Structure 1
Amino acid sequence: MEEKNCLIVSEVRSFSRFYTKILGLLNQDILDSPYSLIEARILFEIGEIPNCTSNILVGKLNMDPGYISRILGRFNSDGLITKEKSSKDGRYTFISLTSRGKEILLSLSQKSNNQIIALTNPLTQSEREKLVESMKYIKNLLSPSSIDRSLKIRTYKLKDINYIIEKHKKLYKDEFGFSHEFADYVEKYLIQFHKSHDEDKENIWIAEINGKPSGVIAIAKADDSTAQLRWFLIEPEARYRRLGHTLLQTALDFSRKKNYNHIFLWTADVLKAARHLYKSYGFNLTESKNNTTWTDHLVKEERWDLYF
């Protein structure tokens, strides 16, 4: 290992050990409460996420569904949460904090705040300001968006229409054996979208890496409260960069901002990676039907739905 790499590895490890120790000190008081740090985090997320479900928590926190379920069971027994079936789709159960749950969360937050105040009280005002700026600097420097400075997500332009069509034609043919009829289907509705879409409630995003288009995703309006996720595609060489997560999160954030409370999409059972990604973000398989139009072999078209 080169000397410059040895130095940075040593310093990062040293900082990590130091920071882990600080976190341990900060967490002691919370751990003296009936709830662990991760339980406090889950309570916080339930309080922050509108129409929260267990699947949304699993996707956001990247945790085992069984573990989340056990924690939610404890919260329910302790009277911290309520569960209510969706009036639109009985398969979805929304989770919200009770008054007691809100009180517990407030208490845990106050304890955490008091710990931080106690830790930083010995510092001067100037030192506190420098500490905050240093934390922001490290966070920004090492965040995924900063590490991958070559990545840019932008709204599509007219020239991107042909890119989207051609990539759907090539990749779906090469990887899944889809026929030209699928590409014709994509072209028809994509051009229709471009000509008449609602710019306030609909959009297509292009991911660029080093200035080269590497992925696409779209949100199309079905009605005032429902959106359709469309034309989601990642170039093979860009998939290892978790670009799918970035684009999907972009589309979901836009949908929440535009007050959609329901998103659906159509995909095929052969798109294993995409199906896994949808499931991790809380989408549920709601419909399946045979399709022999787009391939010379049988595939199943699938509808996936997500309620906020």
Structure 2
Amino acid sequence: MNDGLTDAVRRFQWFYACHVKAPHELVEHSALSLTETRVLFAVMHAGTCTAANISRTLGLDTGYLSRMLTQFECAGLIERQPFSGDARRHQVSLTTDGETALAVVSTHVRDEVSAALDAMTPDERAQLLASMGCVQRLLAPAGDAQRVRLRGPRPGDFGWIVEREAHLAPGGMQSQRKWETRTATVVADYLTAPDPLRNGCWIAEQDGVSVGASLLIGMSAGSARLSALFVEPGVRRGGIARRLVKACVTFATESGYDRIVCAIDLNPAPIAPLLLHFGFEELSGQGEWEKRLKGPAAI
């Protein structure tokens, strides 16, 4: 465990608690205890859930939680209905009284957050939103569902591509500067291409946060190059790189290219298995891979 990183996370938690109070830090506005407030908020956000869902989400002992839910039910804060197909399980949802019990706390939470956001400029709010998305993505449990979509580039995306490829490059500062120069040249070629409709760029977004990108640039009437491809650490297992390459292959095919080429060192992470999956073949001794889109070798 990195003690320095652990201390940094704890400092951030304390900073957040002091400046933008979370619901469980506003229990002075409610007759409920800290844990009771957390449980009711979990039910509220889920809409309808089971006790097992709440136990996993909050890390609570099932027996302790069961007794608490019984107390809530007796107080009229929640209702439990038999789960469809399994009478031993119950679906939990808030009653009107339960929603009222949380209303005061919710109002104070919104007021605290709104006060913090009102002091920011629109650009600062956008930066905050993106940063929170990154924190949520990196700290989320591995089993959480990933909502990923591919989109076209927006203003600022190309600068982000250069910055992220440089940051993710292996080696020290010299290697990163070399990679930054290479990616900046690639981006310049993309932006100054005589026929921009023959080039393609895709940004992968996960829950609204940019987590990867790919660039396809025409080299000639018949050839295109997969010139940039990266995915942020921690999300590669979600199949994002595969979707980015597939977008390039589909675009190149529809644009009438005969082939796609790319360098094996395109990405700091090994991509040979990914290229093989899409039918790329290694060009012996040239350090490049090629996929034929037309003719007998096309897949």
TM-score tier (shorter): 0.3 to 0.5
Q: If the length of structure 2 is used for normalisation, what is the TM-score?
A: 0.47
Structure showing greater relative contact order (alpha-carbon pairs closer than 8 Å, 6 or more residues apart): 1
**Larger Cα-atom Rg:** 2
